[in-house]
Structure 1
Amino acid sequence: MDRSSPEKLILVNREPNGIAIVTINRPDSLNSLTKAMIADLAHAFKTLDRDESVRVIILTGSGRSFCSGVDLTAAEDVFKGDVKDAETDTVVQMERCRKPIIGAIRGFAVTAGFEIALACDILVAAKGARFLDTHTRFGIFPSWGLSQKLSRIIGVNKAREVSLTATPLTAEVAERLGFVNHVVEEGELLKKSREIADAIVKNNQDMVLRYKSVINDGIKLDLGHALSLEKERGHDYYSGMTKEQFKKMQEFIAGRSSKKQSKL
């Protein structure tokens, strides 16, 4: 049974094709987050990660915006709470999630919403979507990774400009800088996200999980150590394969080759 908060502010919909859609559902407040919503969102990712029927997760927001950040009327409750509690930390649970996470962004992704977008593996944005870092404007110290992750994706100078001036990074510029994967018409947002999810679902699930892990773990290291990590995990993977698994791999490759030949 799908779990949502009592007020249905975090919705989880499992589809029969292996795709789960998580929706931040507080549109009247532009999907601003309360402490309870942050905990519920963390719980949703933790639960979906354990659900073997779920292979890809799409995260989106209802209404006009993705997420306008923390509800500042509850700021003290959020920021002075137990920020080290990983179990109720949305971004920690997203980073721990083995399944690929696709962010479907419309409207604004502001501060905490920006950081949640940064925790996604692939981003699809509607035309006109904007990413805004208001930490310096409101005197809030970043704690979900924005000060470190953004510069590694779009470059240090551009990240400094986005964060120190608190001016929006448009979806179109974000796509050019390699942060957003695709910019689409608003009506195509979930369609494009599902297309990407479907392409992932068609692949070997075990390898999808392993590949996401080695990319995400390797990006935290320098290139030399990252290459060693890949080599080590590759060795462990092949060492653990049985003759039957190698045979199935060869049969699969042979089958694909024969299909290509028949089309020539």
Structure 2
Amino acid sequence: MSDLVLRNDAGGVATLVLNRPEKRNAINRELFRALRGHVVALQSDSSVRLVVIRGEGDHFCAGHGLGEKPHADALGWLRKEVHTLELLSKLRQPVIAAVRGTCFTGGLELALAADFIICDETARFADTHGKWGLVPGWGMSQRLPRRVGSARAIEMMVTCRPVTGVDAERAGLANLCVVDGALDAALADYAEAILAISPHSNAENKRLVYDTDGMRLAQGIDHEVMRNAGFDRDAATRRASFPGAAVGGGQEAG
């Protein structure tokens, strides 16, 4: 793997670090290829139960590097980029984007492909496609409205104004904003909570939510029942450790 994206594993958590701090971790094709390689590897790595994406240094990601020449097959490469973010969003493991500093445009699209975002007060989120006469191609027009609502998403897209970490939390863009210096502690807290939960349940809950996005309520409930993956194999052991706890419906996994 290229050292433009570093992978650090510890205690069931794989942390992917965008490693171009001198460019505020702006994305170029080589970095994107490295990111794709790591995401593909994580698809089959059962030892990893949580994935964290962050940037080296003081910034998450300044977006796509505008100085790079267009790919000879621009549409083909765009499809590969979009597919990479789809692979990231469909990982069985929960994915957290941990944001400090700049999280602009392509960087924001990368963060939005995670299941949720936590940030600190240094964070600044913006979609600046319009500033450069561009339109999104990595999912901004779809994922941003689903996070913050259509009106707020359009406001961000047509003004290109940055949103602070505090305001991102208020808008639902970020799940949590902490004071500067507290991001690592917040990540550790989330990791402790997630790793205590059944990885089977986490993966299937995530799948059900994404698979039924846009369905009518009745259709979604039918999907939940008919395509239910059942209980984890250790469900009985987990229940036994909490005597008297109520458990909802479902079938034991085969």
Identity %: 30
1:214 aligns with 2:203: no
1:13 to 8, 15, 21: 8
Higher mean C-alpha displacement, 28-37 vs 43-52: 43-52
Does 2:160 match 1:171? no
Report the structure, 1 or 2, having the larger helix content. 1
The code of the aligned residue for 2:141 comes to S
Aligned AA for 1:54? V
Q: Which structure would you say has the larger Rg? A: 1
Query: In the alignment, which residue of structure 1 is the partner of 2:28?
Result: 34
Q: Which amino acid aligns with 2:47?
A: S
Q: Could you say which residue in structure 1 is the equivalent of 2:191?
A: 197
> Are the counterparts in 2 of residues 46 and 97 from structure 1 also a CA contact under 8 Å?
no
Q: Equivalent residue for 2:147?
A: 153
Native 8 Å contact 2:78 2:137 kept in 1 = no
Post-superposition shift, 1:41?
0.6
Whether the 8 Å CA contact 2:169–2:177 is kept in 1: the answer is yes
Q: Is the 8 A contact 1:10 1:41 kept in 2?
A: yes
Range moving further from structure 2, 177-186 or 65-74: 177-186
> Alignment partner for residue 48 of structure 1, among 34, 42, 47?
42
Aligned equivalents of 2:29, 2:40: Cα separation in 1: 17
- 1:220 to partner: Cα distance: 3.9
The alignment partner of 2:117 has SS state of strand
Q: Is residue 237 of structure 2 the alignment partner of residue 237 of structure 1?
A: no
Displacement after TM superposition at 1:224 (Å): 3.0
C-alpha separation in 1, matches of 2:127 and 2:79: 24
Instruction: Tell me how far 1:152 sits from its aligned partner.
Output: 1.9
* TM-score with structure 2 setting the length: 0.88
Post-superposition CA distance 1:6-52 (Å, at most 9, x none): xx11000111x101111001000000111111111111112122111
Alignment of 1:58 with 2:47, yes or no, is no
Contact 1:34 1:78 in 2 (8 A): no
Preserved CA contact (<8 Å) 1:38 1:88: no
1:149, CA displacement in angstroms? 1.4
Which whole-Å CA distance do the structure 1 matches of 2:73 and 2:105 have between them? 13
Give the conservation status (yes or no) of the 8 Å contact 2:118–2:175: yes
Distance 1:254 1:156, change over 3 A: same
Instruction: State how far apart, in whole Å, the 2-side matches of 1:104 and 1:87 are.
Output: 21
Aligned-residue RMSD, C-alpha: 2.4
For 1:99 and 1:78, the matched residues in 2 are separated by: 34
Match for residue 182 of structure 2? Answer: 188
Q: Are the counterparts in 2 of residues 59 and 102 from structure 1 also a CA contact under 8 Å? A: yes
Distance in 1, matches of 2:13 and 2:110, equals 19
Structure 2 counterpart of 1:254, one-letter code = P
Quick one: distance in 1 between partners of 2:12 and 2:226? 30
Match of 2:251 in 1: none
Tell me if the contact between 2:90 and 2:207 (Cα under 8 Å) persists in the aligned partners.
Answer: no
Give yes or no for contact 2:61–2:102 (8 Å, CA) kept in 1: yes
Structure 2 CA distance for aligned equivalents of residues 229 and 10 of structure 1: 37
State the secondary structure of the residue aligned to 2:76: coil
Residue 262 of structure 1 is matched in structure 2 by none
Moved segments of 4+, more than 6 Å: none
TM-score of the pair, normalised by structure 1? 0.85
* SS of equivalent residue, structure 2 residue 92: coil
Q: Aligned partners of 1:78, 1:185: CA distance in 2, in Å?
A: 44
In structure 2, the partner of 1:74 is 68
Kindly tell me: are residues 152 and 246 of structure 1, through their superposed partners in 2, closer, same or farther at Cα, counting changes over 3 Å? closer
Partner Cα distance (2:6, 2:72) in 1: 21
> What is the letter of the counterpart of residue 55 of structure 2?
G
CA distance in 2, matches of 1:131, 1:83: 25
